[in-house]
Structure 1
Amino acid sequence: MREEYEIEKLNPRKNPYAKLLKKQVTINIDEDTISYFKKESESEGIPYQTLINLYLRDCVAKKRHLEISWT
């Protein structure tokens, strides 16, 4: 292995998986909603943030739309 490499000669490529990378966001979620996902995550054995992400990805994949009715 070389001690130094010439970066300019390496021909860097863009990451083909860059679109799949996660982006950190800040979001306000009700306490009871967080508690629900934390309890579900314990029974499933995965982190609650991962569970929330999986749920949201499922909504996107199935193109679910909200049905809101204000009474």
Structure 2
Amino acid sequence: MPNDELSDEYDFSQLSGGVRGKYVERYQQGTNLVLLDSDVARAFPTQESVNEALRLLIQLAERLRE
């Protein structure tokens, strides 16, 4: 692509300001990102609403198993 700004190769030794392992602790804690389909995102627009709905679903599933 002629307008592509990405190089085939980068010399990371010339980059400054990077911190190795900056997010490793957060990663090890189990951070989980999920991409919602647009219809689901409209119904559950916040992190709290998604978690509340999933917790309710878990409770319902547990009651059905009893």
- TM-score of the two chains, using structure 1 as the length reference: 0.38
TM-score (normalizing by structure 2)? 0.41
